Chains A and B, each alone.
Chain A
Amino acid sequence: MSIGSKRLVVGAHYGLRDWLGQRLSAVVLGVYTVALVLYLLLAGNSGYDGWARLFAAPWMKVATLLALASLFYHAWVGMRDLWMDYVKPVGVRLTLQLLTVLYLLACAVWSVQVLWIV
């Protein structure tokens, strides 16, 4: 990407995408969390049946899946920022980033299994 006639900007160009993705996923997570908490406060405790029925509904599965996807993307950008800020040796940092990706992928697979348990 070139700015003006002289300056050439180089890089991986993921900065803006991740910055924006971090905020969009934050909005999704915020709306989902507040809506779920309000629902639980208003609906009251209806035991296992009510809880399982809520998560068995297709629209709830879609909403939760969207929230989970946002969660894992959000966590990745956030944790990568932490590693970049606090861990300076490149080898250690890349190892931690790789472990973070694997950890989040494993959690993502598991979360889908959990969601389709009901």
Chain B
Amino acid sequence: MSTTLRENKPQYRNIHITQIVGYRLPAPGMVSILHRISGALMFLLLPVALWLLQLSLASETSYLRLSGIAAQWWAKLLFLVLVWSLVHHLVAGIRYLLLDLHIGIEKAASVKSALVVFALSLPLTLLAALRIFGVL
């Protein structure tokens, strides 16, 4: 009897990647999961970033080759992904450091600061996008 009860108890674990779409997360939850996704993206794109840095530094020729690559649409898309990841991770990271210092840990304040993260990261990414795609 006691074992059946235990088995029927719902278990609350970390939200799995496959469940994200099914959840209506509050703003702090969105910041949190996107902090993880942006971090994982930068981890996966680390060799690409190093390759780009290598091209930019190795010689004048490789620098010009990089300029050619940067003109391709797929490279622009890649830069945009990297820029969004970096900006979101950085801004959300500053919020987490403040939370660690017990600044704004109340529910209302943390929702507000989560919205501030989006209010900063999305326009900054948009600015970068305009720059990358040559509008600015």
A73 in the interface, Cβ–Cβ < 8 Å?
no
Interface size class of A (residues with CB under 8 A): 20 to 34
Question: Chain B interface secondary structure, helix, strand, loop or mixed?
Answer: helix
B43 surroundings in chain A (CB, below 8 A): 75, 78-79
Contact stretch, chosen from B52-60, B74-82, B103-111: B52-60
Which residue of the partner chain A has the closest CB to B42?
A75
Which residue of the partner chain A has the closest CB to B46?
A107
Contact with B93, one of A26, A52, A79 (Cβ below 8 angstroms): A26
Interface pair B57/A26, CB less than 8 Å apart? no
- In the complex, A55→B64 CA distance in Å? 17
Interface pair B63/A30, CB less than 8 Å apart? no
- In the complex, A82→B16 CA distance in Å? 10
Among A19-73, those with CB < 8 Å from B are 23, 26-27, 30, 33-34, 47-48, 51-52, 55
Given the contacts A27-B97, A30-B94, A111-B50, A82 and B57 also touching, CB distance less than 8 Å: no
- In the complex, A85→B36 CA distance in Å? 11
- In the complex, A54→B16 CA distance in Å? 43
Interface pair A114/B54, CB less than 8 Å apart? yes
Given the contacts A23-B100, A48-B63, A107-B50, A33 and B57 also touching, CB distance less than 8 Å: no
